[in-house]
Amino acid sequence: MIKSHNLGFPRIGKDRELKKAVESYWKSDIDETQLQQIARDLRRNHWQLQQASGLDLIPVGDFSFYDQVLDMTCTLGAVPARFNWDGQNINLDTYFEIARGCTPCCGAPVHASEMTKWFDTNYHYIVPEIHQHQTFKLSFTKLFDECQEALNLGVPAKPVIIGPLTWLWLAKIKGEPFNKLQLLDTLLPVYEEILNTLQQQGVEWVQIDEPILVLDLPAEWQAAFESSYKRLQISGLKVLLTTYFGDLGNNVNLATHLPVAGLHIDVVRGEQQLQKILSSVSAEKTLSLGLVNGRNIWRSDLDQLLTIVQTTCAKYKNPIWIAPSCSLLHVPVDLNNEPKLDAEFKSWLAFASQKLDEINILKTAININTDFVKNVLDDARSALHNKRSSSRIHREAVKQRVKNITEDMVHRKQPYAVRRGLQQAWLHLPAFPTTTIGSFPQTRQIRELRQSFKLGKTSEADYVTAIKQEIASVVKKQLDIGLDVLVHGESERNDMVEYFGEQLEGFAFSQNGWVQSYGSRCVKPPIIYGDVSRSKPMTVDWIRYAQSCTDKPMKGMLTGPVTMLNWSFVRNDQPRSTTTEQIALALRDEVQDLEQAGIKIIQIDEAALREKLPLRKAEWETYLQWSVRAFRITASVVADDTQIHTHMCYSEFNDIINAIGDMDADVITIETSRSDMELLDAFESYHYPNEIGPGVYDIHSPNVPTKSHIVDLMRKAAQRIPIDRLWVNPDCGLKTRQWPEVEQALHCMVESAKQLRQEYAQ
Ligand code: GLN
Ligand code: ZN
């Protein structure tokens, strides 16, 4: 008999109830009692739903008001000193302050802890902060309260916590550098206390997540796993050591020999590791197979999964469990909440609830027999069969076009050094040219206009007129401010991926397919399901109109192929690289049309290129190779005197600077203002050959930068990059800002550029 369990369920609720409640609480529209009641209801619903789908063990503690890493940080009492925590049990307000910062009535604002992406997902966690003399103390009762709540409801609870090594690995050192592992001696006693408490509450299993076991780990961290888990053996309590997001690689022996009762592995991303694990796992260990993809929305191939379970059962004599590959946090809640998707398309999909049904079918097929679930297996099989040959997905012309990509399509005609002269000959830009990244403030009127057009309440003609008015107005503002290269402002776009996805073949959009991105923020990723192509120009009319409002150069604005891919749910029936090439070709047509319409500066944003860098270093090269190639397919169609820009709104370039150079954009704009230009070190030591616009205006904050601050930043930039290759621009788009601050800040930026021109003219 096999058992089934789940690693985590989306906490937001199928209608984003948690988001709405938390935001109401922040606005003081509801009080804590009301918030807690909504949270309790959600947890109960989710537990009951999971119980109803036949799971033997149900995760508890996966619920969070903001983030599970922050929950763990609070449980350990690792609150940064600036929050003035009294050392007692952490309350909800302190908890939210760590996540969001606070502005006390007297005194300076206290800034939030940093946020960063959870492995290669689009979920952001609150980064723990530790210092050399960090102490730990059990300080948050949330896990135990929720555990009791579940047990009282008769839920077969399996508490979930983040393991000590993963937590430490993710923590950021503040102050003097030191070896984080030194903190284990003070950290582990709190973990022991947690486990003891859970055992006293009467649970049998606890799930300890250690996803860093799928990374390249230094030897001392590997050793620390052994010593730590030896210490965490609490009699009577069984630990399921949980790994996901990849295979264990060279940590296989380590993971299979740790003194824990069970091991969960990701079979979706690491199928090849299964044999190795089966032969190395020590006796008596429960093996949990992560079979159903927790990172994507496709229906599983149940026949294939069944074969995996059957062959594993034949070889492995200890208990076997089945589960999704990772927490279902990363997929939408329920496909039944999608009334607008057609039946055929829905038959290809599985959201969190449907994934649990799949687990249950597999379990029943093994524990009873396949005949018992014959109908559902047949259904799944025929849906998959239909998908494999559907003309909605497969379009020969697109496949053929990808096959026909030739090397000359991937290269500009001449090297940058030559292109530069050709571009300058018509651009006549001053030194330190100024520009912005694309979007301007999205006012309420603009959002309402788009909404009303979408709902059919505003006619197309009225909509076009209104957007053109907005474009004319932002062009005028930029001319008044005195910027050198202008943009149209992106007022027609709600989202930089959705806007293009909606106009491309092969993309679909759900109505309620929300996934938590951070805190109360949710995103609805597009679903790339079929061969991608473009049926007509997507941006040309807007940009052409914008150019008609001015003699200054207008920069066309597109989202790049890799970002389109990385912020969507992707096909599972062909390599990501192939899908990206299809998108790249569609965008290439757009670039060509823009150029033909007289737009000779075109920016192709690759905001998300870095974030899907594989977790293992050995796989970086391949990823970077195909993603850079896709960018170049899009960009290389233009004449040499057309200037290609790209933009990346993140900071860590050290690892990938060669690849950034290989993109061969004429100009790259990046986020640098918060790092005080240190990020440019990578560009300097690599001798980045093309032009760079290091962001001088932190668009994440409403503060208006001063002229001296900007000049100062640019002087630092000029120490690292030859000045004739520097641009002056904000960190990123300005759509979340307000006009008054934007006008002031850009004015300052332009004044700074003028001063720099004078300073460096001598
Ligand atoms: N062009 C986009 C904008 O300005 C870029 C956004 C991004 O990089 N995230 O909004
Ligand atoms: Zn950006």
Print the SS3 string covering 34-95: HHHHHHHHHHHHHHHHHHHCCCCEEEECCCCCCCHHHHHHHHCCCCCHHHCCCCCCCCHHHH
Going by CA atoms, what residue is nearest to atom 5 of ligand 1?
733
Confidence label for 62 from pLDDT (cuts 50, 70 and 90): very high
Indicate if the pLDDT at residue 282 is higher than 80. no
Indicate if the pLDDT at residue 345 is higher than 90. yes
Indicate if the pLDDT at residue 117 is higher than 80. yes
Confidence label for 234 from pLDDT (cuts 50, 70 and 90): confident
Instruction: Give dist(CA 144, CA 210) in Å, integer.
Output: 20
Find how far residue 128's CA is from the centre of its chain: 19
pLDDT (mean) for 443-465: 97
pLDDT (mean) for 222-251: 95
> Which range, of 136-140, 283-287, 291-295, 538-542, averages the lowest pLDDT?
283-287
CA of 281 to the centre of ligand 2 (A): 45
**Residues counted in the chain:** 762
pLDDT 10s digits, 370-425 = 999 999 999 999 999 999 999 999 999 999 999 999 999 999 999 999 999 999 99
Q: Which atom of ligand 1 is nearest to the CA of 559?
A: 1
DSSP-derived letter for residue 4 is E
Q: What is the pLDDT of residue 111?
A: 86
Annotated active-site residue in 111, 133, 687, 700: 700
Q: Which atom of ligand 1 is nearest to the CA of 735?
A: 10
pLDDT 10s digits, 155-197 = 999 999 999 999 999 999 999 999 999 999 999 999 999 999 9
Alpha helices in 153-183 (DSSP H): 164-170
Instruction: Give dist(CA 351, CA 79) in Å, integer.
Output: 35
Instruction: Give dist(CA 244, CA 338) in Å, integer.
Output: 29
Mutate to test the pocket of ligand 1, among 478, 496, 672 (most ligand atoms within 8 A of CB): 496
Q: What is the pLDDT of residue 598?
A: 98
Q: What does pLDDT average to over the chain?
A: 96
Contact in structure between 143 and 162 (CB atoms under 8 Å): no
Higher pLDDT, 108 or 250: 250
Indicate if the pLDDT at residue 539 is higher than 70. yes
With a pLDDT cut of 70, the percent of the chain lying above it is 100
Q: Which DSSP string corresponds to 515-575? A: EEEETTEEE---EEEEEEEESS-SSHHHHHHHHHT-SSPBEEEEE-HHHHHHTSB--SSS-
pLDDT 10s digits, 456-514 = 999 999 999 999 999 999 999 999 999 999 999 999 999 999 999 999 999 999 999 99
Going by CA atoms, what residue is nearest to atom 8 of ligand 1?
607
Q: What is the pLDDT of residue 351?
A: 98
Indicate if the pLDDT at residue 673 is higher than 90. no
> Which range, of 356-365, 573-582, 621-630, 673-682, averages the lowest pLDDT?
673-682
CA of 734 to the centre of ligand 2 (A): 9
Indicate if the pLDDT at residue 654 is higher than 90. no
Instruction: For ligand 2, an ion, list residues with CB under 5 A.
Output: 607, 649, 732
Residues 6+ apart with CB under 8 A from 309: 2, 289, 291, 320, 322, 362, 366
Structure tokens that stand for 513 in this block: 């397919």
Q: What is the pLDDT of residue 614?
A: 96
Going by CA atoms, what residue is nearest to atom 9 of ligand 1?
607
Q: What is the pLDDT of residue 674?
A: 76
Q: Name the nearest CA neighbour of 47 among 34, 60, 56, 64.
A: 60
Q: Name the nearest CA neighbour of 437 among 486, 390, 387.
A: 486
Q: Which atom of ligand 1 is nearest to the CA of 493?
A: 10
Give the residues surrounding ligand 1 with Cβ less than 6 Å away: 437-439, 490, 496, 557, 605, 607, 647, 649, 732-733, 735
Question: Is the CA virtual torsion 246, 248, 249, 251 positive or negative?
Answer: positive
CB count within 10 Å of CB 708 equals 11
Indicate if the pLDDT at residue 651 is higher than 70. no
Q: Is 394 a catalytic residue?
A: no
Q: Half-sphere exposure of 117 toward its Cβ, with a 13 Å CA cutoff?
A: 15
CA of 70 to the centre of ligand 1 (A): 28
pLDDT 10s digits, 129-150 = 999 999 999 999 999 999 999 9
CA of 679 to the centre of ligand 2 (A): 15
With a pLDDT cut of 90, the percent of the chain lying above it is 92
Find how far residue 353's CA is from the centre of its chain: 22
